[in-house]
Amino acid sequence: MNEMTVKAPAKLNLFLEVGERMADGYHKIESIMQSVTLFDTLTVKKTEHGITFGCSNKKLEYGGNLAVSAAKLFFEQSGIKGGADVYLQKKIPVSAGLGGGSSDAAAVLRALNTLYGEPFSADELLKMGKKLGADVPFCIKRGLCRAYGIGEVLEDLPPLPRCVFAVAKGNTTVSTKEAFEILDGHGKRQIKSSDDITEMINKGNINGVCAGLYNAFEINGKCDDNIKRIMMKNNAYNALMSGSGPSVFGIFKDEADANSAAKELKAENYECFVCTPEENRP
């Protein structure tokens, strides 16, 4: 096999607590992360040498793109003499708190590992992903996980009960670095545990899961409450900002309500998608 096409799903943080900043600049976190059926698509081809990269969003065609960094890391770590041509069909909004770049990097690592005969085990791929970014290990693993450390220590959780997500990108621009700095400036905060929401997930109690949604970054005041209002008006169980924002997601019982919320949000010029939990890991 010389070519393969892989999906790179967006991720949502159902719970996100941020702890202390460590000497390496990373923060300790505790999170519940869910991959969803909103995908970027990457086509990866084996070549004799070098790395070439193209994207449907021309603004993302630069050497520092995480998809390119992932390909470079694969060849550096494996010592394989070869190359790759990578094309990214972008659908996940950029800089939205949905892990799109991390998921693209994870997809490239998975694809190259397959195309070049699986030189790395699953655990080795996760360790490699950590070098690219805190969310990359989860984006390799996918599904529903509880995350610790900087996000690289992952605990599998059972699938959510049947539900539908509406995801809308807010109109503000959020710098992840700035979001962490603002949070650090709040001084001592009561650090919350994900134990309660994890218990509700294990029990299959969707109402309990939704009651336990939490994101420490919402204290920064960057969450678009209008998105939340529209989602709750359309019968969302609850709504929450994902990552450092500005995207907000609502969890719905059925697709009709999620579509109704999405229609109203699009009418107000929000970028919006309806999707479901991704249950099948690669």
What are φ and ψ of residue 192, in 5° steps?
A: -90, 155
Alpha-carbon distance of 159 to 279, in angstroms, equals 6
Token output for 269:
């010029």
Residue 94 carries which side chain, given as an amino acid letter? Answer: V
- Could you give the residue numbers annotated as active site? 11, 135
3-state helix, strand, coil in the chain (%, to 5): 35, 30, 35
Asked if 91 contacts 125 with a C-beta cutoff of 8 angstroms, the reply is no
Token output for 204:
């299959």
Question: Based on C-alpha coordinates, what's the Rg of the chain?
Answer: 19
Asked if 165 contacts 275 with a C-beta cutoff of 8 angstroms, the reply is yes
Asked if 230 contacts 265 with a C-beta cutoff of 8 angstroms, the reply is yes
| Helices 66-78 + 122-132 axis angle, to 10 | 130
